[in-house]
Structure 1
Amino acid sequence: MTSKTLRRLIEEKPFVTCPGVFDLVSAKFADRTTADALYMTGYGVVASYLGLPDAGLATYSQMLDRVQIIAQTVHKPLIADGDTGYGGLLNVHHTVRGYEKAGAAAIQLEDQQNPKKCGHTPNRHVISVKEMVNKLAVANDARSSKDFLIIARTDARTQLGLDEAIRRGEAYAKAGADIIFIESPESEAEMRKIGMALDVPLVSNQLHGGRTPILSQDKLREIGYRMAIYPTAGLLATAYVLNNIYSALAEDKPVQEPLYDFNEFSSLIGFSGGVGFREEVRLTGSGLSRDLADTSGSQPEVYDRTTITRGAKHHAVQMGASDRGALANDPDPIGTRLAFAEGKLSCNRLRSIRSAKSSCRASMISAFPNMSRLTVRPSGL
């Protein structure tokens, strides 16, 4: 999904709804709904990925990894939390470039001092207006397309009051921000005042459990907002259910909560009717070409070596040096196969090379050091 889609949504739709996602499972579920876009919540990502509070502890590289993998998984535009830009002006430039290249449709940048904190916690402090305006100018210059949107957030309301927060919103819009985010207003009256004061697209942070009232989308639109994000709804619902289920299991009690259907969940994450995978291996010259046939009949895709490493490290096919040499001299490489079945890898030699069937010593990636790309094709091709 291109970032141009999000700009078009903001311009054409009366209101844009963005559920908060924090991992790939939540992203897949949110992507199946009628929501307009998705919001990658920093609070939720840091909690689920690192098990830590949203207090400036996640690095740029860690967050970029989450942006990229979620953006590649979903079809809806993804708004990604970029915190403070992870440092000074050079860091902001690098962050904006990285998020845009990773596939995000928009980046959210805030004016907190480091270390930053969740916007609905106490004792937050903000940088000067000039510093933030400079950051936004750099961010505006760093993006390669104006369709990659910049959301400027101010946390000034809690420390400096609502009027200062509105003043900052005006300054940030003039500095090039496409959408303004006044964090944690504490009443509907304050939200209405923000909507009346700022003639720019506004986003409301509908954080369940936070300081800001949770309003209907019709009400938010009426008082001047064009977009709402819901960072914690899915996260806290998941935490509640997990707490109950794990406690019941520990106490040898029956699970009372309704569970998502296993087959439907398997389908959601890429299995089709529980059918496994078949993998064919071919050596061409000094490199290795591998055709992974997914029996679900999906369209061809390409994965890099990192993706293969992640999948292989838990179920490594072992193969000795002598067998690797045999593979290189295999007169019928198409007849050489590795079979995936029910999460277990086994070596199944079809024709002249049979020794590898029982010989397992080195990992898949070590055995095939020249492997660079994996092409996925439907079964039977």
Structure 2
Amino acid sequence: MYGRERLAETIAGSEITVVPGVYDGISARLVERQGFESGFLSGAGVSNSRLAQPDVGFLTLPDIADQSREIADAVEIPIWVDADTGYGNAVSVHRTIRRLADAGAAAVMIEDQEWPKRCGHMAGKSVVGFEEAVAKIEAAADARDSHAPDMLLKARTDATEPDGLDEAIRRLNAFADAGADVVFADALRSADDIRRVADEVEAPLSVNMGFGVRSRPTTPLIPAARLDEMGVDVVIYPRLITAAATAGMKRGLEELATAVETDEEYEAPDAVVDWDYYTDLVGKPAVDDLEERFATDDD
């Protein structure tokens, strides 16, 4: 299991840790091949791709545990897993941590929204009370320590929008005291807000840059190098790969629509990867090797 020690060493390094979002085995393998040291299993990415639904609380623990297990089996890089609110109260959080550890998660993120949660960049969020939020992180830390000591715990607050930045900072510090290894305030509205959180929170800080290559109306798009200078330790890009995959699929279908309207040969090679690359990406050479190793005279 690739977990706490490896991720902790990366976070403690001199450079900011860059974590692209993933949502399935192929996306995780692409992140790994591109040279990134870890991937973030985005709850939004799974809800969007697996259910064709928005990130508004439709996912369950079995959904995320199944997806985590398949992705962890597909790659060797550590995978951070978005576990939303932990799917219930503090006792449910305790079980969630154990289930996701067994599924191969190297790190798990628990947030303080009320259920049903919403994507951190959607309007209408609300958070549970301070004491309940801290108790859930305490439960997560207890489950980690007793069941999965090489797992990292990431604690997220969405309190900035409903209750203000002071409350978000108060919660992050309390989460760190409760045992969180990394903390995260989602949907910060400005570079000044990010800088203030980095200055006032006594724990490694993560921020969310969404698409990464396209601006949003909430958190401003800030280069990783600048975030590093501002004191940020981890930056995630949970929306990049689902949005990029959607753009690629849309283009491919547009090319197909053009192709079927003509009786002449029509090619758009830039719209798809080539066959050799794709079969290698999904592990066909490894399967071929196994078939050759275990072939019998009866075959």
TM-score, normalised on structure 1? 0.71
Q: Which residue of the partner structure matches residue 76 of structure 1?
A: 77
Q: Which residue of the partner structure matches residue 285 of structure 1?
A: none
Give yes or no for contact 1:245–1:255 (8 Å, CA) kept in 2. Answer: no
Give yes or no for contact 2:210–2:239 (8 Å, CA) kept in 1. Answer: yes
Q: Are 1:248 and 2:255 an aligned pair?
A: yes
Output one character per residue of 1:246-302: Cα deviation in whole Å (capped at 9) or x when no partner: 133234365654321211111111123xx986xxxxxxxxxxxxxx9434x7xx9xx
Q: Are 1:215 and 2:222 an aligned pair?
A: yes
Q: Are 1:186 and 2:189 an aligned pair?
A: yes
Report deviation, 1:24: 1.2
1:231 to 235, 238, 242: 238
Q: Which residue of the partner structure matches residue 165 of structure 1?
A: 168
SS in 2 for 1:243: helix
Q: Are 1:263 and 2:264 an aligned pair?
A: no
CA distance in 2, matches of 1:154, 1:195: 14
SS in 2 for 1:260: coil
> Which runs of at least 4 in structure 1 moved beyond 6 Å after TM superposition?
none
Q: Are 1:2 and 2:2 an aligned pair?
A: yes
Report deviation, 1:101: 1.4
Q: Are 1:294 and 2:295 an aligned pair?
A: no
Give yes or no for contact 2:251–2:271 (8 Å, CA) kept in 1. Answer: no
The structure with more helix, counted as a fraction of residues: 2
* Higher RCO, Cα 8 Å, sep 6+: 2
Q: Could you say if the C-alpha distance between residues 255 and 195 of structure 1 is closer, same or farther in structure 2, counting changes exceeding 3 Å?
A: farther
Q: Which residue of the partner structure matches residue 205 of structure 2?
A: 202
- 1:269-280 aligned within 5 A: 269-272=282-285
The structure with more strand, counted as a fraction of residues: 1
CA distance in 1, matches of 2:25, 2:43: 14
SS in 2 for 1:12: coil
Amino acid at match of 2:277: E
Give yes or no for contact 2:176–2:182 (8 Å, CA) kept in 1. Answer: yes
Q: Which residue of the partner structure matches residue 44 of structure 1?
A: 45
Output one character per residue of 1:132-185: Cα deviation in whole Å (capped at 9) or x when no partner: 111111111111244311100000111111111111111111111111101011
Give yes or no for contact 2:84–2:110 (8 Å, CA) kept in 1. Answer: yes
Amino acid at match of 1:114: W
Give yes or no for contact 2:206–2:236 (8 Å, CA) kept in 1. Answer: yes
Report deviation, 1:227: 0.6
Give yes or no for contact 1:7–1:147 (8 Å, CA) kept in 2. Answer: no
> Aligned pair count?
285
Amino acid at match of 2:271: P
Report deviation, 1:47: 1.1
Give yes or no for contact 2:56–2:118 (8 Å, CA) kept in 1. Answer: yes
TM-score, normalised on structure 2? 0.89
CA distance in 1, matches of 2:227, 2:195: 9
CA distance in 2, matches of 1:13, 1:71: 27
Give yes or no for contact 2:47–2:55 (8 Å, CA) kept in 1. Answer: yes
Give yes or no for contact 2:190–2:219 (8 Å, CA) kept in 1. Answer: yes
Q: What are structure 2's unaligned runs of at least 5 residues?
A: none
Amino acid at match of 2:152: L
Amino acid at match of 1:64: A
Q: Could you say if the C-alpha distance between residues 185 and 76 of structure 1 is closer, same or farther in structure 2, counting changes exceeding 3 Å?
A: same
CA distance in 1, matches of 2:25, 2:210: 20
Q: Are 1:30 and 2:31 an aligned pair?
A: yes
Report deviation, 1:13: 4.2
Give yes or no for contact 2:206–2:232 (8 Å, CA) kept in 1. Answer: yes
- 1:316-355 aligned within 5 A: 336-337=298-299
CA distance in 1, matches of 2:240, 2:191: 20
Report deviation, 1:245: 2.1
Q: Which moved more, 1:209-218 or 1:89-98?
A: 209-218
Identity of counterpart residues, as a percentage? 34
- 1:89-168 aligned within 5 A: 89-143=90-144, 144-168=147-171
CA distance in 1, matches of 2:143, 2:39: 23
Give yes or no for contact 1:249–1:255 (8 Å, CA) kept in 2. Answer: no
Amino acid at match of 2:283: G
Report deviation, 1:92: 0.6
CA distance in 1, matches of 2:267, 2:169: 49
Report deviation, 1:193: 1.1
Aligned-residue CA RMSD (Å): 2.0
Report deviation, 1:11: 2.3
Q: Which moved more, 1:254-263 or 1:115-124?
A: 254-263
Amino acid at match of 1:81: D
